């Protein structure tokens, strides 16, 4: 099995190189749509603060939500974490002649970063599963299930300029540290490392605060070792709680201070009035987010449904219950927004960020099932992969609309059977 996994891993690397080099899909350039807003931060950093108010493309995208009264200073509505990561690479190929345009090399860099983070995230998730004593076969199959059945491959390549693959990478790093920090003798270095990851991850997407909270929570001795009513809080627990509070404060205070210096408003809501709308109808689109054929989670990524079912079937999995918590909480948050589809894409992209939890949860659940029943699970995983990759191929060829529709979904899944 180890040789098979090694060969398939080499094949995966070759596929990533091919997709990055030849971009076999009907879309471009690499930095587009939301990705333009995220990478504007990288351009801003490498050019030592350009005036983004004069960037007409940002205005056309609706990427600027708040500005000062004179409109001489503006804040792009996307968080800076992606741009912070990209900035050192952008600086190498920065254009002094056209500082407000992305160079062809920078477009390629975004694709290379996305593919690299996809590979590294996959490796970290796989190693995390092995660290939790899950067999190689199950760990690898669970990873493949979400790679090609949960949209992860698509958002690490086709949509590499978006924030999701960066969130996945940060989440994968945090979970990789899980077993080391769970140890009562965990060093302060491990907790410090997790804190640094947390600061950056919170700056990638505001919803990532739920991911960092969950990872810190899962490391507590109070959660892992308590029996009955005997709740024991250890020094390590206090360090973890303190580290979470401090890292979260650093993330959001720095963003709030920056916004204040730029536009005179201390706010984390860089979406302006658009962001305020989330509180108007709390959870109004909850079931649309989960079930709609027009971009809902479960129809496009049925591997999430299979994983949630197996968690409830096998029970007693902390990371599994964490995955349920994140899935439902994200559904509630996105379902409270008029733009619950996040503007469109392949499936509901808002859940890509929590895929590392999903892979480990699926692997743990399969590991608890008898070998005979695993074959049935593998069959359903195959169906999940078929559904997602079938839609992905049509999406890449331009035959599937950006704003998903039920008609196209059915045509892609039941290929040849529906005219």
Going by pLDDT thresholds of 50, 70 and 90, the confidence category of residue 385 is very high
Q: What is the band of 229 on the pLDDT scale with cuts at 50, 70, 90?
A: low
pLDDT at 355: 98
74: left (phi over 0), alpha (psi -120 to 50) or beta: beta
pTM above 0.85, yes or no: yes
What is the per-residue pLDDT across 140-187, written as a single tens digit (0 to 9) for each? 999 999 999 999 999 999 999 999 999 999 999 999 998 777 765 667
Range from 110-119, 161-170, 255-264 carrying the lowest mean pLDDT:
255-264
pLDDT reported for residue 66: 74
Given a cut of 70, is residue 416 above it in pLDDT? no
Q: Picking from 106-115, 188-197, 258-267, 324-333, which range would have the lowest pLDDT averaged per residue?
A: 258-267
Rounded distance, CA 159 to CA 35, Å?
A: 8
Grade residue 388 by pLDDT with cuts at 50, 70 and 90.
Answer: very high
Under the banding of pLDDT at 50, 70 and 90, the label for residue 201 is very high
DSSP string, 180-195: HHHSTT--HHHHHHHH
Q: What is the pLDDT of residues 10-53, one digit of tens each?
A: 999 999 999 999 999 988 899 998 999 999 999 888 887 766 77
Specify whether the CB–CB gap between 216 and 243 falls below 8 A.
yes
- 283 sits in the region (left: phi over 0; alpha: psi -120 to 50; else beta) called left
Which of 389-416 are b and which e, b meaning 16 or more Cβ less than 10 Å from the residue's Cβ? bbbbebbbeeebeeebeeebbebbbeee
Question: What's the pLDDT at 242?
Answer: 95
Count CB neighbours of 8 within 10 A.
Answer: 12
Amino acid 338: pLDDT: 79
Is pLDDT larger for residue 288 or for residue 64? 288
Which is it for the CA torsion 83, 325, 249, 219, positive or negative? negative
Split at pLDDT 50, 70, 90, the class of 280 is low
Q: Is the pLDDT assigned to residue 279 strictly greater than 80?
A: no
Q: For a pLDDT cut of 90, what percent of the chain falls above it?
A: 60
pLDDT above 80 (res 5): yes
Q: Mean of the pLDDT values across residues 376-394?
A: 96
Residue 382 CB partners (closer than 8 Å, separation 6+): none
Structure tokens at 392: 């992905």
Q: What is the mean pLDDT of the chain?
A: 88
């Amino acid at each position: 099995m180890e040789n098979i996994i090694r060969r398939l891993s080499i094949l995966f690397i070759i596929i990533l190189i091919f997709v990055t080099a030849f971009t076999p899909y009907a879309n471009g350039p690499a930095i587009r749509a939301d990705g333009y807003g995220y990478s504007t931060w990288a351009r801003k950093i490498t050019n030592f603060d350009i005036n983004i108010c004069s960037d007409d493309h940002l205005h056309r995208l609706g990427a600027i939500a708040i500005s000062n009264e004179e409109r001489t200073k503006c804040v792009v509505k996307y968080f800076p974490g992606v741009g912070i990561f990209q900035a050192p690479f952008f600086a190498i190929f920065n254009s002094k002649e056209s500082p407000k345009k992305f160079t062809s090399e920078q477009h390629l860099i975004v694709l290379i970063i996305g593919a690299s983070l996809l590979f590294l995230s996959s490796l970290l998730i796989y190693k995390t599963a092995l660290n939790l004593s899950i067999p190689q076969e199950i760990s690898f199959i669970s990873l493949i299930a979400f790679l090609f059945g949960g949209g992860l491959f698509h958002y690490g390549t086709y949509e590499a300029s978006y924030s999701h693959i960066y969130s996945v990478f940060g989440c994968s790093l945090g979970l990789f540290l899980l077993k080391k920090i769970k140890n009562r003798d965990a060093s302060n270095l491990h907790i410090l490392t997790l804190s640094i990851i947390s600061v950056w991850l919170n700056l990638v997407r505001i919803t990532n605060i739920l991911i960092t909270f969950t990872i810190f929570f899962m490391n507590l001795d109070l959660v892992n070792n308590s029996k009955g009513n005997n709740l024991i809080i250890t020094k390590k627990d206090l360090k973890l709680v303190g580290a979470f509070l401090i890292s979260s404060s650093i993330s959001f205070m720095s963003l709030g201070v920056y916004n204040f210096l730029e536009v005179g408003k201390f706010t984390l809501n860089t979406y302006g009035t658009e962001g305020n709308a989330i509180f108007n109808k709390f959870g109004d689109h909850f079931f649309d987010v989960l079930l709609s054929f027009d971009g809902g989670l479960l129809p496009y990524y049925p591997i999430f449904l299979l994983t949630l079912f197996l968690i409830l079937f096998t029970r007693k999995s902390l990371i599994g219950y964490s995955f349920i918590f994140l899935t439902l909480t994200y559904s509630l948050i996105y379902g409270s927004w008029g733009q619950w589809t996040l503007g469109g894409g392949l499936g509901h992209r808002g859940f890509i960020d929590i895929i590392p939890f999903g892979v480990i949860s699926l692997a743990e659940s399969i590991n608890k099932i008898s070998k005979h029943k695993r074959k049935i699970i593998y069959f359903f995983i195959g169906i999940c992969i078929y559904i997602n990759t079938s839609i992905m191929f049509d999406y890449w060829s331009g035959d599937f609309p950006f704003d998903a529709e039920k008609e196209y979904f059915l045509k892609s899944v039941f290929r040849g059977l529906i005219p």
